[in-house]
Amino acid sequence: MKNVGGVDRFIRIVLGLALLSLFYFLPGYWKLTGLFAVPFLFTGLAQKCAINQLLGRNTCKIR
């Protein structure tokens, strides 16, 4: 069941892409902070978020 709506999905994907860009801009081991992009991109593209499900939240308009 999808629980991530349009605006929430857009924010997750944009934030994920921004964090992913850290691989190109940060030196050395700081590049690893770009790995924080993986959960944002996954939840945005799959439209499922385990934390939303545990908290009982649903930002998707279609039920």
Residues 6+ apart with CB under 8 A from 38: 16
Q: Across residues 26-35, what is the average pLDDT?
A: 91
User: What's the full length of the chain, in residues?
Assistant: 63
pTM (2 decimals)? 0.85
φ/ψ of residue 25, rounded to 5: -105, -25
pLDDT digits (tens, 9 = 90+) for 1-18: 889 999 999 999 999 999
Residue 43, Cβ neighbours under 10 Å: how many? Answer: 21
Note the pLDDT of residue 55. 92
Note the pLDDT of residue 29. 92
Residue 44, Cβ neighbours under 10 Å: how many? Answer: 21
User: Torsion angle of alpha carbons 17, 20, 21, 25, nearest 10°?
Assistant: 160
Note the pLDDT of residue 23. 87
Q: Where are the domains of the chain?
A: 6-55
